[in-house]
Amino acid sequence: MLYGVKNIYRFSVEGEPDKTLIDSNYEKNYQAFEESIMLVIADSFERAYEIAELKAKKAEDTYTNCYGQTVKYRFIDSIDCYSISENELEDGMELYSNIVSLSK
């Protein structure tokens, strides 16, 4: 069975920038989050979560940005899992939808 698992990652920046590299795009205390939907082959929702979390943790990374700072890319959590029917795959079909309700 195919599943789509939504993972959340966090980018965090550590250290002081090299002042000679700062430009108009530099943002102090920059943080970002990424939502990523991973295709997983599994025999159950529970196993899909397990597989996605293992792969997501392997994707974690640390690197140096263009300002000389350390950037950490870390897996936070798998927050959603949905079944994708292999028999019904077709061009243009919707694979995922999320409705955000705004309170009055």
- Residue 12's identity, in one-letter code, is S
Phi, psi of 2 (to 5 degrees): -95, 140
Tell me the residue type at 104. Answer: K
Cα torsion 42, 47, 48, 54: sign: negative
pLDDT interval class at 95 (50, 70, 90): confident
Predicted local confidence at residue 101, as pLDDT: 75
Pick the more confident residue, 92 or 79: 79
Domain residue limits, the chain = 2-17+29-85
| Position 104 confidence tier, pLDDT thresholds 50, 70, 90 | low
